[in-house]
């Protein structure tokens, strides 16, 4: 069988399989370009099963491009809370405003117009144009490159730009006339359900008979992919500061800067312990020096708090960083008098190298960026408990359980704060 026949076999059999086996997904029930767009942004680096409830809630609250464009950013982030990669939500809203300003609220139908939207790359542009408008545009992501690498026995590294160009050209040639919408979704579906990364289900694959990778026994070694650089490990010390007096029943949180990692989201105060050695996991810091460093960092921002003891350990994985968190329950103290360290010896126990690393972190990415990097004042929720940190210039606020409904937190801090309010850390003491 020649290459042309192999391509025809792939397209025909894949479409036949898809029309019978396609999943009933909420964004497929309506030929709505906005729904397609939102779903594709949410599906970036996120599983379908995870996305479905988020998609339904998001569309329920922001049913149109106009509704999304006009919504407060805090509401958008709150609806995205727990989905991760929060820059996707900000870019989506910024792009919605572009659509309103430049296209009268209607999704553009040309490649240049779609590609110009903030947060839209080659794959997403191809997905929108093909699925929403049935245009013969390839939509090549990791799933698609895996399928094509195996079926056509392509040994090129899929991390290279030249390989992506090759895959896009090949995928474009496979689209049957007038069937771009179904074909691209079928290709995605095959990669998600059958031609999976580690255990492809070859015996149930609709194109297995002409799959060159399977015939050559290469289905488990393809695609060729250069290993990404492992994420940098960081050990961080987190404070759950329990309020007293006017702040009884509340905890202290802060809002991150307007730009950068987790921009404008709320979090528990935390500080970098000591940078890990290259290629090694960040090691936990002993409790005494950890609590001393944490108390000192809070004092530098104008908050007196006494660490009482370790509450829990946690971990949060980003694409480029892994945070290993030591979480300490702390008690608010009067802000007059001496720095409320546990003991002078505790600070001395933190060796000079670790202290130097922490000092560097405190001036850069730890707390997290300096006030000079903020593009504007944050729109903190109204209330009497809002303050500005003395050193980092970030917005701090005392919150109770009721505030969790209005403020957007990264998932790890959402879990930690919710656990505290649920009484999970009641018995933590020095």
Catalytic residues: 40
User: What three-state secondary structure class fits 182?
Assistant: helix
Closest CA to 329 of 346, 350, 305, 345: 305
Report how far apart, in Å, the C-alpha atoms of 48 and of each of 43, 140, 150, 411, 419 are.
Answer: 7, 17, 23, 18, 27
Tokens, residue 102: 């430049």
- The CA angle 243-263-396, to the nearest 5 degrees, is 20
Residues facing residue 252 across a β-bridge: 398
Report how far apart, in Å, the C-alpha atoms of 170 and of each of 4, 151, 213 are.
Answer: 11, 12, 16
Tokens, residue 395: 């917005």
CA distance 287 to 293: 10
CA distance 372 to 375: 8
- The answer to whether 392 and 371 are in contact (CB under 8 A) is yes
Residues facing residue 386 across a β-bridge: 397
End-to-end Cα distance, the chain: 74
CA distance 118 to 125: 11
Instruction: Tell whether the torsion through CA atoms of 384, 388, 394 and 398 is positive or negative.
Output: negative
In 90-244, where do the E strands start and end? Answer: 232-242
- The answer to whether 324 and 352 are in contact (CB under 8 A) is no
- Cis check for the bond before 234: say yes or no (omega within 30 of 0): no
Which element (helix H / strand E) includes 79? helix 73-80
CA distance 11 to 390: 63
**DSSP one-letter code for 273:** E
CA distance 175 to 180: 6
CB atoms within 10 A of CB 116: 14
Residue found under tokens 């779903």: 39
């Amino acid at each position: 069988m020649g290459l042309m026949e192999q391509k025809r076999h792939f397209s025909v059999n894949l479409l036949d399989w898809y029309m019978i086996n396609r999943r009933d997904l909420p964004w497929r029930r309506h030929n709505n370009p906005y729904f397609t767009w939102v779903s594709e942004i949410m599906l970036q680096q996120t599983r379908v099963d995870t996305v479905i409830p988020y998609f339904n809630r998001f569309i329920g609250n922001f049913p149109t491009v106009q509704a999304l464009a006009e919504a407060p950013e805090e509401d958008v982030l709150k609806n995205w809370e727990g989905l991760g990669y929060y820059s996707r939500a900000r870019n989506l809203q910024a792009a919605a405003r572009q659509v309103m300003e430049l296209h009268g609220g209607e999704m553009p139908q040309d490649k240049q117009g779609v590609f110009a939207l903030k947060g839209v790359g080659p794959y997403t542009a191809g997905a929108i144009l093909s699925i929403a408008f049935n245009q013969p545009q390839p939509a090549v992501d990791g799933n698609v490159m895996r399928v094509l690498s195996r079926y056509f026995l392509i040994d090129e590294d899929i991390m290279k730009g030249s390989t992506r160009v090759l895959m896009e050209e090949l995928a474009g040639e496979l689209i049957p006339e007038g069937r771009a919408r179904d074909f691209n979704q079928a290709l995605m579906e095959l990669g998600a359900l059958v031609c999976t990364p580690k255990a492809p289900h070859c015996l149930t694959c609709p194109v297995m008979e002409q799959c060159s990778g399977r015939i050559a026994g290469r289905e488990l070694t393809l695609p060729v992919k250069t290993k990404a650089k492992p994420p940098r490990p960081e050990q961080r010390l987190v404070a759950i500061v329990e309020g007293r007096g006017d702040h009884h029943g509340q905890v202290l949180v802060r809002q991150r800067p307007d730009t950068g990692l987790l921009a404008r989201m709320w979090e528990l105060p935390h500080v970098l312990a000591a940078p890990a050695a290259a290629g090694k996991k960040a090691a936990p810091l002993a409790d005494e020096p950890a609590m001393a460093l944490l108390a000192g960092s809070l004092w530098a921002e104008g908050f007196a708090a006494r660490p009482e003891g370790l509450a829990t350990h946690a971990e949060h994985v980003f694409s480029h960083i892994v945070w290993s968190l030591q979480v300490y329950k702390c008690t608010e103290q009067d802000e007059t008098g001496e720095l409320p360290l546990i003991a002078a010896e505790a600070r001395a126990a933190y060796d000079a190298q670790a202290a130097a690393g922490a000092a560097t972190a405190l001036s850069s990415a730890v707390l997290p960026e300096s006030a000079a990097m903020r593009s504007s004042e944050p729109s903190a929720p109204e209330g009497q408990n809002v303050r500005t940190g003395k050193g980092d210039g970030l917005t701090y606020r005392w919150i109770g359980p009721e505030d969790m409904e209005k403020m957007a937190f990264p998932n790890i801090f959402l879990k930690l704060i919710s656990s505290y309010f649920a009484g999970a850390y009641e018995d933590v003491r020095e």
